[in-house]
């Protein structure tokens, strides 16, 4: 974001269905806005919070269902571009963040957590673009005191198909080094972005994925 510019990014609606450890969990986010403000031409501040979440979990063995809802946790980020802000084939940034526990019990874990993201974008031949998004996090242990490390990464190939539509192919992975049990996840996603020719400052994204 250039200095003094303001931007809003948000899901309209987000549904996640997860099957892990004998439980089926459905998470609904009713919008999930990120507000961005350019502090300088290479640094912006970001604020993200889901106004309302609903989490429903069903134990397949007992048949019991638990439900929690409320506002999400508050994420504060600072994104600093290191190279490539004014052009070139490579752009690199650093994005430290901290999570403030604003969510109620059952929606959040009540802990201050944080991490560092290092997005990298590379221009490829034939108008393709590669985005690499490594991330490291320090998370609260789900059982007992203490923290543990989590690492994730995104590999995304994208290409504009028309003047207004861009398609993307993404692979994401995550390794959570929980001392109780290390959990590994991965997903494959297809996405599309549309920028109306009459509204160059508006972008609508959509996609499907498989974990």
DSSP assignment string, 63-95: --EEEEEE---EEEEEEEEEE-TTSSSEEEEEE
Phi, psi of 156 (to 5 degrees): -130, 130
| pLDDT greater than 90 at residue 173 | yes
The percent of residues above 70 in pLDDT, for the chain, comes to 100
Comparing CA positions, the residue from 118, 115, 81, 110 lying closest to residue 98 is 115
Domain segments of the chain as ranges:
1-116, 119-211
The edge-to-edge listing of strands for the beta sheet with 23-29 is 14-20, 23-29, 53-59, 65-70
Average confidence (pLDDT) over 145-159: 96
Query: For position 112, what pLDDT does the model report?
Result: 97
| pLDDT greater than 80 at residue 210 | no
Comparing CA positions, the residue from 79, 206, 203, 183 lying closest to residue 133 is 79
Would you place residue 172 in the very low, low, confident or very high pLDDT band (cuts 50, 70, 90)?
very high
As beta bridge partners, residue 29 has 14, 53
Name the least confident of 8-12, 52-56, 151-155: 8-12
As beta bridge partners, residue 210 has 188
Query: For position 15, what pLDDT does the model report?
Result: 86
What number of CA atoms fall less than 13 Å from residue 105's CA on the CB side? 0
Max mean pLDDT range (11-20, 175-184, 199-208): 175-184
pLDDT digits (tens, 9 = 90+) for 33-71: 999 999 999 999 999 999 999 999 999 888 899 999 999
Average pLDDT over the chain, rounded to an integer:
92
Q: 6 with 36: CB under 8 angstroms?
A: yes
Q: Which helix H or strand E contains 39, and what residues bound it?
A: none
Q: 202 with 196: CB under 8 angstroms?
A: yes
| pLDDT greater than 90 at residue 87 | no
As beta bridge partners, residue 209 has 189
Query: For position 49, what pLDDT does the model report?
Result: 96
Q: 189 with 167: CB under 8 angstroms?
A: no
- Return d(Cα 146, Cα 137) in angstroms, integer: 14
């Amino acid at each position: 974001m250039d200095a003094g510019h303001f931007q809003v990014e948000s899901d309209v609606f987000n549904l996640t269905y997860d099957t892990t450890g004998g439980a089926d969990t459905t998470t609904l986010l009713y919008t999930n806005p990120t507000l961005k403000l350019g502090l300088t031409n290479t640094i912006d501040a970001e604020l993200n919070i889901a106004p309302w979440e609903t989490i429903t979990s069903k134990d397949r063995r007992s048949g019991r269902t638990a439900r929690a809802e409320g506002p999400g946790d508050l994420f504060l980020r600072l994104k600093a571009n290191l190279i490539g802000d004014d052009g070139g084939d490579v752009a690199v940034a650093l994005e430290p963040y901290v999570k403030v526990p604003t969510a109620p019990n059952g929606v959040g874990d009540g802990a201050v957590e944080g991490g560092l993201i290092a997005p990298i974008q590379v221009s490829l031949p034939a108008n393709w673009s590669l985005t690499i998004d490594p991330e490291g996090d320090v998370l609260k242990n789900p059982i007992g005191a203490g923290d543990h490390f989590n690492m994730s990464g995104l590999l995304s190939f994208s290409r504009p198909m028309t003047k207004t539509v861009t398609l993307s192919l993404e692979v994401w992975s995550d390794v959570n080094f929980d001392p109780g049990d290390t959990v590994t996840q991965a997903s494959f996603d297809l996405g599309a972005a549309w920028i109306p020719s009459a509204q160059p400052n508006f972008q609508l994204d959509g996609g499907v994925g498989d974990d």
